[in-house]
Amino acid sequence: MRTLAKAADRESRIRRFFRDIRSELRKVTWPTRDQVTHLTIVVCIASGIVGALLGGIDFAFGLLFRYLLGRG
């Protein structure tokens, strides 16, 4: 009997959990398609710029170390 009560309580908590999830997702202000497109482009451009900067720094340090080690 005790195990049956635990199982029923667990099922009740799981249902309440998913009900709460649905409730919270209804409260979310979702971005429009234009906002998503714009922000995706911004992130791609920013990632490209950061990648290029880090690549340039890596290249410069590679040249510096080759020069310091006398292999360049």
Residue 2 has pLDDT above 60, yes or no: yes
Site of tokens 């906002």 = 35
| DSSP-derived secondary structure letter, 39 | H
Q: What is the pTM of this model?
A: 0.63
Number of Cβ atoms within 10 Å of the Cβ of 20: 10
Contact indicator for 30, 38 with CB cutoff of 8 Å: no
Question: Any idea how long the chain is?
Answer: 72
Question: Using CA atoms, how far apart are residues 39 and 45, in angstroms rounded to an integer?
Answer: 10
Domains of the chain: which residue ranges? 1-30, 31-72
3: pLDDT strictly greater than 90: no
26 or 7, which is more confident? Answer: 26
Q: Provide CB contacts within 8 A for 63, sequence distance 6+.
A: 72
Average pLDDT over residues 28-55: 98
